[in-house]
Structure 1
Amino acid sequence: MLTTAQLERIEGKRFTKKQEANARSVLMALDVYGDHVGLEVPHRLAQYLAQISHESGGYHHDREIWGPTPAQKRYDTRTDLGNTPECDGDGLKYRGHTAIQITGKANTRQYRDWCRAKIDPNAPDFVADPELMNTDPWEGLGPLWYWDTRKLNRFADRGDIKTITKRINGGYNGFKDRKRRYVRTALVLLDFDPTNIKGFQEASALLVDGIAGPKTLAALHRALVKLTDFTKDLGREPINQKPATKSRGIGGSSIAGAGGAVVLVEPVQKCIAVIEGQKAALSSGDITTLVVGGIVVAGALLALYARLDDGGYIDRWTGRG
């Protein structure tokens, strides 16, 4: 499973106690329920975490910061958000909650109903007391609800961070920061330093300029997708297979969904990158270049085998474990 240490690496700093608590809420929900909403695969997970990181200010905030600003004052009568037309305090009461900032009475009601239908029929009445959304496990489930009900996986599957941003934000506010966070998240899941764009570009045979432009973003997406394809090709249990424990309740056994694929991320991407980088050598026809390229690829494969063997995957796949 993902850890707070990995999230700290993505953010580039140690968490405060508040950040760590907020991050743990997000990770707990992912561990228990992430696979049920399709977030067990790295390319979706990277998009999800990038948006959560932006919306929460790097896990600093699980409630909307309230001024109130002029826009927030108008929340009180935003009937399109399900609030009453009177100035009766609905704006403050139903301000953004959880890491995804669930806002408005209508969204709060929808989230409550989703929790009662899919998680626990006795889930709290968030409409009566929205602050209960910021208690575990509900705080971490809020972003999953939004991601699931807005069907954002279809955009993650094509690496479309721009449309995901619009579906979450209603526009493109903070798009540059969301993209920056996506790049950092993807690099960490691919076992690169979160700032090492050049290293990824070099390993992927791209122009090495340190800029996460369209080609680099597309390559990051392809690399994350390949991780899922790789684990399936090796005979790993299908990543979207339902767990043996069928209960979807929070009290059920922990499901290693989102973390299952990520466990293999670290060794696999480096091997893939080496093979991609040696394609030209292996097809050159020059015997010296061919031999050198073959040695490099063989070394990468041996290193990958050693990492997988250390992790017990070889025994599992061959039936020895």
Structure 2
Amino acid sequence: MTPDLLAQCLGIPVTRAETWSGPLSAAAALYAIDSPARLAAFIAQIGHESGKFIFLVELWGPTSAQAGYEPPSVKARDLGNTHGGDGFRYRGRGLIQITGRANYQKCGDALGMDLIASPELLATPSNAALSAAWFWNEHGLNDLADAGDFETITRRINGGLTGIADREALWKQAKAALGVDESMELNGAENASS
């Protein structure tokens, strides 16, 4: 993924794309995000999640939803947040916002990093890209990208369809930049079901 191509996919300055093209290319190669359809869906999702590579750490209010990241709430329990302050400490980081102590542990174990002791490691370009590609793989999103099922990809990343209009606009733009057309998507969906 060249900086120029990444810039076209997301409509960002080439100077910003230069920071990200190397880490994204390496992470995508490691997790077989290796076809135009897969790359278009991946870039669109991480582009939305990070505000086009502006935000690598979840903005913190705390909002009422974020306040629920703290124990003893059900959400905190779901995230594995067991200590006071875990909600803030393990707030979303990376290009796909890894959130919660349990998810930091799982991601760190997979990537060979101590994210419990150093959660800020996910806010560097190489680790942010690597954690996003790991998450993508962990949740089976290549198969969904092959099938063109962008809505289910969004639900697996977001838990709902928050920001779907922006995500779809970025997906359309990335598909155009990468040369993905409707017939390629249909062939991918047919091949995935074979």
Give your verdict on TM over 0.5. Answer: yes
Q: Which residue of 2 aligns with 1:12?
A: 11
Q: Which residue of 2 aligns with 1:185?
A: 174
Q: 1:220 aligns with which of 181, 185, 192?
A: 181
Cα deviation for residue 28 of structure 1 reads 2.5
Q: Which residue of 2 aligns with 1:82?
A: 80
SS in 2 for 1:98: coil
Cα deviation for residue 175 of structure 1 reads 1.1
Show structure 2 runs of 5+ residues with no match: 188-194
In the TM superposition, 1:309-320 aligns within 5 A as none
Q: 2:126 aligns with which of 137, 150, 160?
A: 137
The one-letter amino acid paired with 1:168 is I
Q: Which residue of 2 aligns with 1:73?
A: 67
The one-letter amino acid paired with 2:5 is Q
Residues 124-174 of structure 1 show CA distances to partners (whole Å, capped at 9, x for unaligned) of 311111001223532210101100111111111110001100111111111
% of aligned pairs identical?
Answer: 38
- Is the CA contact 1:43–1:225 (under 8 Å) kept in the aligned structure 2? no
Q: What is the rounded CA distance, in whole Å, between the counterparts of 2:31 and 2:19 in structure 1?
A: 19
In the TM superposition, 1:129-208 aligns within 5 A as 129-190=118-179
**What TM-score, normalized to structure 2?**
0.86
- Structure 2 residue 38 is matched with structure 1 residue 44: yes
Q: What is the rounded CA distance, in whole Å, between the counterparts of 2:69 and 2:119 in structure 1?
A: 15
Q: What is the rounded CA distance, in whole Å, between the counterparts of 2:27 and 2:162 in structure 1?
A: 29
- Is the CA contact 2:10–2:52 (under 8 Å) kept in the aligned structure 1? yes
Q: Structure 1 173/131 Cα, relative in aligned 2: closer, same or farther at 3 Å? A: same
SS in 1 for 2:114: coil
Residues 250-304 of structure 1 show CA distances to partners (whole Å, capped at 9, x for unaligned) of xxxxxxxxxxxxxxxxxxxxxxxxxxxxxxxxxxxxxxxxxxxxxxxxxxxxxxx
What's the C-alpha RMSD, in Å, of the aligned pairs?
Answer: 2.2
**What TM-score, normalized to structure 1?**
0.53
Larger Rg: 1
The one-letter amino acid paired with 2:62 is P
The one-letter amino acid paired with 1:81 is L
Q: Which residue of 2 aligns with 1:206?
A: none
The one-letter amino acid paired with 1:49 is I
Q: How many residues align?
A: 184
Q: What is the rounded CA distance, in whole Å, between the counterparts of 1:36 and 1:139 in structure 2?
A: 14
Q: Which residue of 1 aligns with 2:192?
A: none
Residues 15-69 of structure 1 show CA distances to partners (whole Å, capped at 9, x for unaligned) of 6x7xx27x734x3333224233221111111111010001001111111111111
Show structure 1 runs of 5+ residues with no match: 117-123, 191-218, 227-321
Q: Structure 1 51/111 Cα, relative in aligned 2: closer, same or farther at 3 Å? A: same
Q: Structure 1 35/12 Cα, relative in aligned 2: closer, same or farther at 3 Å? A: closer
The one-letter amino acid paired with 2:81 is N
Q: What is the rounded CA distance, in whole Å, between the counterparts of 2:37 and 2:156 in structure 1?
A: 18
SS in 1 for 2:68: helix
Residues 175-220 of structure 1 show CA distances to partners (whole Å, capped at 9, x for unaligned) of 1111111000001112xxxxxxxxxxxxxxxxxxxxxxxxxxxx82
- Is the CA contact 2:19–2:125 (under 8 Å) kept in the aligned structure 1? no
